[in-house]
């Protein structure tokens, strides 16, 4: 439950420990008039659907970068942007072309230039386990059958292929049996080299800052990810590599493959504690993480201790700590509409070691699923950002996010300081972050009633040490009898700083 006072990042990119990420689903974030749209595009305010487009684009992101700067964001993760025939673009047609509906390659170049000018880094989504039926080499197989020159790029089992008729076997290997996503044969050296060059191209030609790698555990070719890391990091030594792995994955984070995973284990623990019995079992029943059942503070502390012991400190400092994503329900939805759950989970996230990531729109409590009694459907978490209707924004939530992110940026101890869990009883939890110049106590009361916490602080603080409230409270405190009394209102949290004497 403790961490070194002076961490060494080793081969991990040092900038990631200071990053606050913002995940953008490009079709739903912002739509610019600079990109011509086809006629059959959905209205911006219409509900999200599995098929169809809302027409968000990269120029729209550029036009709203000031919103991200104002929020305190200094890194952006974009879900796939390459040419595709689906709104989420995980069905890649061309790995060298940004989708024209997003503005094409020039829009990406302009976005990276504009973001870097604001000291915002850009991480792209790499989908290298599978392509699509429209990918050139697979389409050639569909056209030419056994005479195609690209048969060994995929896993073909029999003829004729059945790419669209769900009533018959597809006769080729696809990701989770989705015939729209034919799986690459990465044991083929030509395929492997093609994908390696894709990874290198966007670093060399566009200066991206990282890759988030989709379903990496499904690529079982020995040495594939080790080679990917070696070749991409040779071009950019501080490139950030994040694997989409939902479980604990210490074996993937030894320094030879990825720097971090999408830390759904942290998300599940934070939501389970912050939400408690509000967490909807039905809504998360078909997901690959465990925010249900809700837990008390001791249960949360135990899960955090397990995470702390699973990884080295240098890995913990750069883990990609999210709460929601395009693949998971929004936190407010999971908590059946309770916004306090989002505030409490975000407080835990922003004060925990690693790189926090905000899912677009959570800062204004963007709507998600409205039915809490059925399994989550991916479109429910992909509503367009309501730039056209600012009256729908939760301004108090936006202010909460801004203040908390600003405090994280202002306090190195919250980013890289040692982490200690001090108190975990009932629905109350307290942890401490500390470096050589600063000590902060973070308290969360997830209960429905106010709490007066008596927290043991030895050996970190000594009797007579004053503490000043810096977030969520106006009450100061003083250490006495090796403890400190911290008053915390119901369903809220606060941060105190030790005052140097």
The Cα 119–Cα 219 span in angstroms is 33
> Cα dist. 122→38, 64, 76, 486 in Å?
27, 15, 5, 40
Residue 179 · residue 170 · CB < 8 Å: yes
The first and second tokens of residue 93, run together, are 């047609």
Cβ contacts of residue 280 below 8 Å, gap of 6+?
292, 333, 334, 335, 336, 372, 373
The first and second tokens of residue 322, run together, are 């999210």
Q: Where are the domains of the chain?
A: 14-129+186-410, 130-182, 418-498
The Cα 274–Cα 334 span in angstroms is 11
Per-residue pLDDT of the chain (501 residues; tens, 9 = 90+): 333 333 335 689 999 999 999 999 999 999 999 999 999 999 999 999 999 999 999 999 999 999 999 999 999 999 999 999 999 999 999 999 999 999 999 999 999 999 999 999 999 999 999 999 999 999 999 999 999 999 999 999 999 999 999 999 899 999 999 999 999 999 999 999 999 999 999 999 999 999 999 999 999 999 999 999 999 999 999 999 999 999 999 999 999 999 999 999 999 999 999 999 999 999 999 899 999 999 999 999 999 999 999 999 999 999 999 999 999 999 999 999 999 999 999 999 999 999 999 999 999 999 999 889 889 999 999 999 999 999 999 999 999 999 999 999 999 999 999 999 999 999 999 999 999 999 999 999 999 999 999 999 999 999 999 999 999 999 999 999 999 999 999 999 999 999 987
Task: Compute how many other C-beta atoms are within 10 angstroms of the C-beta atom of residue 425.
Answer: 15
Length of the chain: 501
Residue 374 Ramachandran class (φ > 0 left, ψ -120 to 50 alpha, else beta) = beta
| Chain CA centroid to CA 280, Å | 21
Residue 108 · residue 209 · CB < 8 Å: no
Residue 330 host element (H or E): none
> In the block, which residue shows the tokens 């989709």?
214
Global pTM reads 0.96
Answer yes or no: same fold for 14-129+186-410 and 418-498.
no
Among candidate residues 23, 8, 76, 3, the one with its CA nearest the CA of residue 353: 3
The Cα 292–Cα 334 span in angstroms is 9
Residue 416 · residue 317 · CB < 8 Å: yes
CATH fold, domain 130-182, is: Oligo-1,6-glucosidase; domain 2 (3.90.400)
Under DSSP, the state recorded for 481 is T
CATH class of domain segment(s) 14-129+186-410: alpha beta
Residue 411 · residue 405 · CB < 8 Å: no
Catalytic residue set: 214, 244
The Cα 457–Cα 388 span in angstroms is 49
Among candidate residues 436, 439, 408, 425, the one with its CA nearest the CA of residue 488: 425
What CATH number matches the domain at 418-498, 2.60.40.1180, 1.10.10.60, 2.40.30.10, 3.30.1370.100?
Answer: 2.60.40.1180
The Cα 279–Cα 269 span in angstroms is 12
Q: Is the peptide bond before 293 cis (omega within 30 degrees of 0)?
A: yes
């Amino acid at each position: 439950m403790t961490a070194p006072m002076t961490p060494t990042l080793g081969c991990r990119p040092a900038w990631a420990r200071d990053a606050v990420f913002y995940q953008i689903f490009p079709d739903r974030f912002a739509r610019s008039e600079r990109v011509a749209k086809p006629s059959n595009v959905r209205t911006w305010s219409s509900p999200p659907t599995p098929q169809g487009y809302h027409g968000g684009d990269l120029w729209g992101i550029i036009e709203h970068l000031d919103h991200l700067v104002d929020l305190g964001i200094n890194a952006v993760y974009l879900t796939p942007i390459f040419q595709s025939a689906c709104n989420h673009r995980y069905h890649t047609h061309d790995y060298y072309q940004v989708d024209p509906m997003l503005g094409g390659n020039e829009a990406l170049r302009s976005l990276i230039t504009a973001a870097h000018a604001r000291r915002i880094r850009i991480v792209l989504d790499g989908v290298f386990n599978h392509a699509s039926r429209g990918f050139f080499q697979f389409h050639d197989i569909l056209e030419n059958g056994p005479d195609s020159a690209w048969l060994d790029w995929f896993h073909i089992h029999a003829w004729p292929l059945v790419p669209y008729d769900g009533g018959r076997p597809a006769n080729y290997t696809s990701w989770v049996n989705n015939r729209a996503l034919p799986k690459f044969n990465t044991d083929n050296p030509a395929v492997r080299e093609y994908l390696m060059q894709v990874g290198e191209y966007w670093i060399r030609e566009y200066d991206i800052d990282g890759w988030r790698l989709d379903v990496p555990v499904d690529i079982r070719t020995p040495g594939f990810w080790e080679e990917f890391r070696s070749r991409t990091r040779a071009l950019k030594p501080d490139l950030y590599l994040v694997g989409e792995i939902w479980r604990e994955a210490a074996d993937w984070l030894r320094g030879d493959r990825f720097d971090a995973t999408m830390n759904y284990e942290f998300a599940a623990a934070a939501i389970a504690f912050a939400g408690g019995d509000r967490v909807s079992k039905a809504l998360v029943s078909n997901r690959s993480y465990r925010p249900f059942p809700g837990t008390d503070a001791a249960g949360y502390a135990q899960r955090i201790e397990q995470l702390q012991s699973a990884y080295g400190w240098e890995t913990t400092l750069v883990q990609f700590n999210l709460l929601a994503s395009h693949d998971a329900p929004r936190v407010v939805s999971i908590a059946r509409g309770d916004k306090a759950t989002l505030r409490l989970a975000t407080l835990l996230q922003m004060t925990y070691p690693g790189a926090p990531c905000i899912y677009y729109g959570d800062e204004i409590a963007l709507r998600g699923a409205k039915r809490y009694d059925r399994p989550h459907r991916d479109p429910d978490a992909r509503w367009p950002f309501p730039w056209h209707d600012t009256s729908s924004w939760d301004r108090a939530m936006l202010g909460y996010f801004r203040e908390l992110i600003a405090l994280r940026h202002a306090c190195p101890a919250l980013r890289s300081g040692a982490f200690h869990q001090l108190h975990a009883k009932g629905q109350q939890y307290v942890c401490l972050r500390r470096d050589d110049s600063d000590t902060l106590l973070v308290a969360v009361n997830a209960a429905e009633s106010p709490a007066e916490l008596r927290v043991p602080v030895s050996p970190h603080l000594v009797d007579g040490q004053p503490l000043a409230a810096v977030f969520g409270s106006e009450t100061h405190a003083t250490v006495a009898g090796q403890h400190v009394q911290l008053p915390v209102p119901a369903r809220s949290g606060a941060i105190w700083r030790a005052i140097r004497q």
